[in-house]
Amino acid sequence: MTEAAAGDTLLAVEGISLQFGGVTALSDVSFDIKRGEIRAIIGPNGAGKTSMLNVINGFYHPQRGAIRFRGRDFSRMHPGFAARNGIARTFQNVALFRGMTTLDNLMTGRALKMHRGFLWQLLRYGPAMDEEIVHRRVVEDIIDFLEIEAIRRVPVGRLPYGLQKRVELGRALAMEPELLLLDEPMTGMNLEEKEDMCRFILEVNVQFGTTIALIEHDMGVVMDLSNRVVVLDYGRKIADDVPAAVKQDAAVIAAYLGVAA
Amino acid sequence: MHFLYLALIDPFVQMGQAPDLLAQTLWEGLVSGVLYALIALGFVLIYKASGVFNFAQGIMVVFAALTLVGLYAAGIPALLALAATIAVMFVLAVAVERLVLRPLVNRPDIVLFMATFGLTYFLIGTGELIFGGETKQMIATQLYLPSGAYDLPILGGHVMLQKLDIAAAVIASVMVGGLAFVFQYTRIGRAFRAVADSHRAALAVGISLNQIWVIVWFAAGIVALATGIMWGARSEVSFSLEVVALKALPVLILGGFTSIPGAIVGGVIVGLSEKLFELYWGPLIGGGTESWFAYVVALIVLLFRPYGLFGEVIIERI
């Protein structure tokens, strides 16, 4: 385990069970995410990884279990509350504001941090203008950081998939999150784009100290990036350890490769 | 040959011979165009925020006008009745959000669309029950709307500008411009466009869908009220006003369902073209073109630009 993972617990899920009608998506899953670490969540298709992220940021409400965030217990999260309290996320199949430009997409990420009155904004004058400028500066820094200057004014619906994923990361970063949830940030990317994305994730983690929880199928990426790995299979946790140990784990190998009955 | 002359050349000769009549027609076209734009804006707002074509927008115009007139008839002073009607539109927006939108969130668009039909019949029934179905007069003078006309002796003739039309054009322009500005340049506007694009992503950045929906339906209610007052003052307040709102359909097809500038330009194009066609080309085919010409224009635009003049072009990557 690296020094980055040595922080205290930022978020922990305890005994989470989630059912949709008769289908059990998660059963009794517990793990923690320490401040400053990169935590990977892996597992075969349908293991409940995305459901887990949806529970953490409040899209799904689990039937049982608790979420401990910054030392407070919640039986369920609410998306608005999660966003206000520093949980940002990206989606498996990109959820961007397609009609808006890259710049406006990132500015939306600042929405919760802008407080000046509606009338001031309407006048585009005085404190509201100053506020807009401050936030614009943050957003421009993120644009520089992600190397997407060239597509600043392009409506994101027109961008290729790899760039859309990068813009989505940018919008999440614009929220200056404490905890960043990334749902398969590298699906559908070529090798070069994957390497770029890896670099950005690592830099976000190191430079801004952002805690990251990510779901990823590319094992090479997971092993390189993460400090600790949770493995889910059929909604249950089957392993939770450092990457090197998880790779050797018999249950994990069985889940991925199947096992003779 | 003679028909071609009548269709292609004669109208322009007429325009040249009587420029005052042309100016009068253009003015009237412009006024109704701006009012069409206002109605269309009500549709665009809701279409963008909830992804649903609000069939009830037309009846909202009637309902707002009826409420205003009805409250005045019940003895409430005109300006107070106006304020009370605005309050009623707000209550309606909250009720729609609570009782219709929220239970149907994440359902297919067609379900929401059908729900707006339900809302239409609910508002027709409620309106008739409370205020009665008979035709009423809009309380134009009590709301300090001007009456009478300016008579401009220009272009070798007379051009009559109804003061009410001037007021309607100014108020509608201010509302359209104001709403367009709000939605383009403020935080609420950005949140609104975000909701329009993706409910899921909007939730993830902490935008409250419920709040945005109430704001948008309220804005559409205000737009409906303004339309009801203006149109009611030009003719009368009755349930047939709902049909006027359907004129917004060709406007929307022309301008694109998702575009506020499109609603404005589309409204003006429809207003101007139907008035000009009625006057100069109408006699050729027996007149009465005003009721259908807008749909022909929309059809032609559809052939060449299926997303409308300003609509968002949807590119599906497959």
- On whether the CB atoms of residues B155 and B20 are closer than 8 A, the answer is yes
The residue among B222, B246, B270 that closes a domain is B246
The residue among B213, B246, B279 that closes a domain is B246
Task: Report residue A122's pLDDT band, with 50, 70 and 90 as the boundaries.
Answer: low
Q: CA B203 from chain center: how many Å?
A: 30
If phi over 0 gives left and psi between -120 and 50 gives alpha, with beta otherwise, what is residue A260?
beta
Contact A111 B203 (CB under 8 A): no
Query: Which residues of chain A are in CATH 3.40.50.300 domains?
Result: 1-86+177-261
pLDDT at B99 over 80: yes
What's the domain range around B276?
Answer: 250-318
Model pLDDT, residue A30: 92
Per the structure, how many domains does chain B have? 2
The residue among B246, B270, B293 that closes a domain is B246
Length of chain B measured in residues:
318
Question: What residues of chain B lie within 8 A of the CB of A124, using their CB?
Answer: 185
Number of Cα atoms under 13 Å in the Cβ half of residue B129: 6
Contact A83 B205 (CB under 8 A): yes
pLDDT at A111 over 80: no
Does the residue B30 lie in any domain? no
Tens of pLDDT, residues B19-29:
788 888 888 89
Q: Which CATH superfamily is domain A1-86+177-261 in?
A: P-loop containing nucleotide triphosphate hydrolases (3.40.50.300)
Rounded to an integer, what distance in angstroms lies between the CA atom of residue A161 and that of residue A155?
13
Model pLDDT, residue A251: 86
Instruction: Provide the 3-class DSSP secondary structure of residue A60.
Output: coil
Range scoring the smallest mean pLDDT among A15-24, A26-35, B282-291: B282-291
Tens of pLDDT, residues A216-256:
888 888 888 899 999 999 889 998 989 888 888 888 888 88
Residues B222 and B310 in one domain: no
Q: Helix B260-276 to helix B163-185 angle, to the nearest 10 degrees? A: 150
Beta-carbon contacts of residue A187 (< 8 Å; ≥ 6 apart): A92, A217
Model pLDDT, residue A3: 44
Does the residue B45 lie in any domain? yes
Rounded to an integer, what distance in angstroms lies between the CA atom of residue A109 and that of residue A87?
12
Residues B60 and B168 in one domain: yes
Residues B148 and B279 in one domain: no
Tens of pLDDT, residues B195-237:
877 777 888 888 888 888 888 889 889 988 988 888 888 777 7
Closest listed residue to residue B36, CA positions, set B303, B282, B275:
B275
How far does the CA of residue A247 sit from the closest CA of chain B (Å)?
33
Residues B50 and B170 in one domain: yes
Classify residue A51 by burial, with Cβ atoms within 10 Å: 0-12, 13-18, 19+. Answer: buried
Rounded to an integer, what distance in angstroms lies between the CA atom of residue B156 and that of residue B202?
58
Rounded to an integer, what distance in angstroms lies between the CA atom of residue A41 and that of residue A47?
10
Which residue of A84, A93, A97 is the best one to mutate when testing the B interface, meaning the one whose CB has the most B CBs within 10 A? A97
Does the residue B132 lie in any domain? yes
Residues B66 and B180 in one domain: yes
Residues B105 and B199 in one domain: yes
Q: CA B267 from chain center: how many Å?
A: 8
Question: What residues of chain B lie within 8 A of the CB of A171, using their CB?
Answer: 201, 205
Contact B191 A97 (CB under 8 A): no
Does the residue B72 lie in any domain? yes
Task: Name the amino acid, one letter, at B233.
Answer: A
DSSP secondary structure, chain B, as one string = -HHHIIIIIHHHHHHHH-HHHHHHHHHHHHHHHHHHHHHHHHHHHHHHHHSS--TTHHHHHHHHHHHHHHHHHTT--HHHHHHHHHHHHHHHHHHHIIIIITTTTTS-HHHHHHHHHHHHHHHHHHHHHHH-SS-B---TGGGT---SEEEE--TTS-EEEEHHHHHHHHHHHHHHHHHHHHHHHSHHHHHHHHHHH-HHHHHHTT--HHHHHHHHHHHHHHHHHHHHHHHHHHS-BSTTHHHHHHTHHHHHHHH-TT-HHHHHHHHHHHHHHHHHIIIIIGGGGTS-GGGTHHHHHHHHHHHH-TT-SSPPP-----
pLDDT at A189 over 50: yes
CA R_g for chain B:
21
Residues B277 and B224 in one domain: no
Instruction: Provide the 3-class DSSP secondary structure of residue A216.
Output: coil
- On whether the CB atoms of residues A56 and A87 are closer than 8 A, the answer is yes
Chain A residues 39-98 with a CB less than 8 Å from chain B: 57, 59, 79-80, 82-84, 88-89, 91, 95-98
